[in-house]
Amino acid sequence: MNDKVVIVGQSIQIQRVLTLIDKLSKTDSTVLIMGESGTGKELVAKMIHQKSQRGEKPFIPVNCAAIPSELLEAELFGYEKGAFTGASTTRQGRFELANEGTIFLDEIGDMPLHLQVKILRVIQDRSFERIGGTKSIQVDVRIIAATNKNLENEVKEGRFREDLFWRLNVVPVVIPPLRERKEDIPLLCDYFIDKFSKKFGYSLKINSQVMEIFLNYHWPGNVRELENLIERLYVLNDGGTVSVEDIPERIRFGENLLPKAVSDDLNPFSSGIDLNEVLRDYEKKLILHALNLNGWVKSRAAKYLNINRTTLIEKMKRLGIKDNENFD
């Protein structure tokens, strides 16, 4: 059995996720975890598994985006000897390996349509056939899926089956991005410093100036980006206190938000900033993010933004946001 999963955070958003994990661990329902890359979707899936009655059984992760589509079917369902050139022996797939446990289908939004049909059957009948086989194999497995895409938009675009979406979306879990729970950043830093102190044999300290930079940064890579940064700081330092100069410029100057203020003709802000335009654009991005995060359900998105539903609709009209608009 692997080490127990720890999810670090004291923010309201993370406490809600932990409460939902506790509830889900008492059931055997299919779960759909939604969130940006690096937010910790697999950690949530592992915690649900570990706390459930299946906790001592296998937890089998499959990254649907990382395996070529022509190989994914064999990985999931296995194959019989002689099913294709090179199939010299019979091989079990991930669903069989996960029997009595949990299979985690990460980035399921990237799964080809022809395999989505087979996943739907497994959910409905708990059975499948290996490639090249005719025998129906029964499995007792809990399915937890995850995606960083808006699957409702994918359904509208014909890239994801609607029936599979509703089968997966029995209990959705939305993982907030790190920029929306910045009060957790100091705790996460302490956690990763403790982790890498054991690995490298010495400790680092983060002063208030560096922490201020961390709190002001947008973290497009979320918790994974923060963890990678702390590890980088350990590699480049031999101990002591991290200085501002140790932090990469893209984080110090927030290049992912606005370009650095250099005075050349190529800088779009060299002649000044239209504050109203910048604020309007940022407001639109926040609203689109809230809508995508909440499946374009306006009442939920409004609650997420702490505004009334009617206010949200008025803002959407003013900003030209249509219901079918995508947001990257």
Of the candidates 184, 171, 250, 234, the one whose C-alpha atom is nearest the C-alpha of residue 211 is 184
Tell me the per-residue pLDDT of 148-192, one tens digit each, with 9 for 90 and over: 999 999 999 999 999 999 999 988 999 999 999 999 999 999 999
pTM for this model (two decimals): 0.75
Contact present, 311 and 325 (Cβ < 8 Å) = no
Alpha helices, DSSP H only, in the chain?
Answer: 12-25, 41-51, 69-77, 94-97, 113-125, 151-156, 162-168, 185-200, 208-216, 222-236, 249-252, 275-293, 298-305, 309-319
Of the candidates 294, 279, 290, 278, the one whose C-alpha atom is nearest the C-alpha of residue 321 is 290
Q: How far apart are CA 70 and CA 79, in angstroms?
A: 13
Percent of the chain at pLDDT above 70? 91
Task: Tally the C-alpha atoms within 13 A of residue 73's C-alpha that lie toward its C-beta.
Answer: 18
Top-confidence residue, 260 or 315? 315
Of the candidates 161, 157, 179, the one whose C-alpha atom is nearest the C-alpha of residue 293 is 179
Tell me the per-residue pLDDT of 108-120, one tens digit each, with 9 for 90 and over: 999 999 999 999 9
The topology (CATH level 3) of 12-176 is Rossmann fold (3.40.50)
Q: How far apart are CA 222 and CA 64, in angstroms?
A: 21
Top-confidence residue, 265 or 199? 199
- Say which residue the tokens 């599979």 belong to: 164
Q: How far apart are CA 294 and CA 187, in angstroms?
A: 27
Percent of the chain at pLDDT above 90? 66
- Of 71-80, 134-143, 258-267, the range with the lowest mean pLDDT is 258-267
For residue 144, give the H/E element and its range: strand 142-147
Q: How far apart are CA 208 and CA 210, in angstroms?
A: 5
Contact present, 245 and 213 (Cβ < 8 Å) = no
Q: What is the per-residue DSSP string for 1-70?
A: -PPPP-----SHHHHHHHHHHHHHHTS---EEEE--TTS-HHHHHHHHHHHSTTTTS-EEEEETTTS-HH
Domain spans of the chain, in order of start: 12-176, 180-252, 275-319
Residue 252: pLDDT band with limits 50, 70, 90: confident
Residue 308: pLDDT band with limits 50, 70, 90: confident
Contact present, 58 and 115 (Cβ < 8 Å) = no
Residue 137 has pLDDT above 70, yes or no: yes
Q: How far apart are CA 3 and CA 76, in angstroms?
A: 25
Q: What is the per-residue DSSP string for 13-30?
A: HHHHHHHHHHHHHTS---
Average pLDDT, the chain: 88
Top-confidence residue, 251 or 266? 251
- Of 98-107, 218-227, 290-299, the range with the lowest mean pLDDT is 290-299
What pLDDT, on the 0 to 100 scale, is given for residue 2? 61
Q: How far apart are CA 292 and CA 167, in angstroms?
A: 19
Tell me the per-residue pLDDT of 86-112, one tens digit each, with 9 for 90 and over: 888 998 999 999 999 999 999 999 999
CATH of domain 180-252: 1.10.8.60
The topology (CATH level 3) of 275-319 is Arc Repressor Mutant, subunit A (1.10.10)
Neighbours of 226 (CB within 10 A): 22
Q: What is the per-residue DSSP string for 122-134?
A: HHHHSEE--BT--
Q: Which residues pair with 145 in a beta bridge?
A: 32, 105
Q: Is 109 helix (H, G, I), strand (E, B) or coil?
A: helix
What pLDDT, on the 0 to 100 scale, is given for residue 272? 54
Contact present, 13 and 181 (Cβ < 8 Å) = yes
Residue 318 has pLDDT above 50, yes or no: yes
Tell me the per-residue pLDDT of 28-84, one tens digit each, with 9 for 90 and over: 999 999 999 999 999 999 999 999 999 999 999 999 999 998 899 999 999 988 888
For residue 145, give the H/E element and its range: strand 142-147
